[in-house]
Amino acid sequence: MTAPHWPRPQWRDSGAQAFFLWFVFGDFAPDFRVDAARYRTRGTPAGVDVMRYTHESIRAWDGYPLGGTMGGLFHEENAALFARTGATRDCLLVRGEIADPADLDVLRDLVGTITALVDLGGDAVVDPQLLSLFDPAEWRARFFESDEFIPRNHVAILASDDNNAPGRRWIHTRGMRKFARPDIGIWNVPPEYAGHAGQLAQRFADFQALGGIVEEGREIVIEGLSSNMHAHRAGSLEDPAFNNVHLAIRWPD
């Protein structure tokens, strides 16, 4: 049996499902073929589908990624790319889920397939789990050019005001559902410790992406803090802040 290209050396079965979702907007030929060898893909696995729609037909969807809050975010970040994406004729939806995989070669396959779609007429890729809109060059550079799995490329680490703790920050991830793992939320973070909290979130994300499971109540020791922290599983897949369950961590006062 061939060794995986993208292994998960820490893997233990979580019993959860890895969930995948991308929108590829562009103008595509009626028929096209993906060169599997060129794009390092075995195709899409059972449980994941590529569906084609006219762009106009999906604008009224509740989950239309160029509308609502997400669309406003994309417009603010790159108005020109947002406008080009909105003017495209077609949308290819890559969506599905599989049982917690023992390696990440399925993700590698999907990255290759989406890169092929970009080269076959795609103008932009939306990853709702990362809250990100990529032009073709950005997609290739971040995900495809180096055939190496780099966890931070597939996970977003965000910082926001903590609405329950004035003057404090909320550090949180998005994207861990691709790995059948919870996202990470760290609340009550003093602004001067935001970088430390971001590094903590990154370490948990890396560990989980490579297959690790964070046990309930895991103690977190950081030198110089008044007390230790603990990670507790919380939330649900419908939680709009993560679109996933999460590990809840509270920074000490």
b/e code 184-217 from CB counts within 10 Å (16+ = b): bbbbbbeeebbebbbebbbebbeebbbbbbbeee
Q: According to the model, what pLDDT value does residue 226 have?
A: 84
Helix, strand, or coil (residue 93):
strand
Distance CA 98, CA 48 (A): 8
Q: Provide the CA 231 distance to its chain's centre, in angstroms.
A: 21
In a shared domain, residues 59 and 142 = yes
Helix, strand, or coil (residue 194):
helix
Q: According to the model, what pLDDT value does residue 231 have?
A: 98
* Structural domain harbouring 195: 153-250
Q: Provide the CA 108 distance to its chain's centre, in angstroms.
A: 14
Q: According to the model, what pLDDT value does residue 225 have?
A: 87
Choosing from 122, 149, 176, the residue where a domain stops is 149
Would residue 11 count as lying in a domain? no
Q: According to the model, what pLDDT value does residue 90 have?
A: 98
In a shared domain, residues 29 and 90 = yes
Distance CA 126, CA 87 (A): 14
Contact 10, 212 (CB under 8 A): yes
Report the amino acid identity of residue 85.
Answer: T
In a shared domain, residues 138 and 114 = yes
In a shared domain, residues 24 and 142 = yes
Percentage of the chain beyond pLDDT 90 is 96
In a shared domain, residues 58 and 135 = yes
Question: Which residue did the predictor score with more confidence, 253 or 139?
Answer: 139
Tally of domains within the chain? 2
In a shared domain, residues 24 and 96 = yes
Strand 17-26 to 90-99 pairing? antiparallel
In a shared domain, residues 225 and 179 = yes
Distance CA 250, CA 159 (A): 14
Choosing from 126, 149, 172, the residue where a domain stops is 149
pLDDT per residue over 2-22, tens digit each? 889 999 999 999 999 999 999
Predicted TM-score (pTM) of this structure: 0.95
| β-sheet bridge partners, residue 184 | 247
pLDDT per residue over 98-149, tens digit each? 999 999 999 999 999 999 999 999 999 999 999 999 999 999 999 999 999 9
Distance CA 21, CA 16 (A): 16
The phi and psi torsions of 71 (rounded to 5 degrees) equal: -60, -40
Q: According to the model, what pLDDT value does residue 1 have?
A: 62
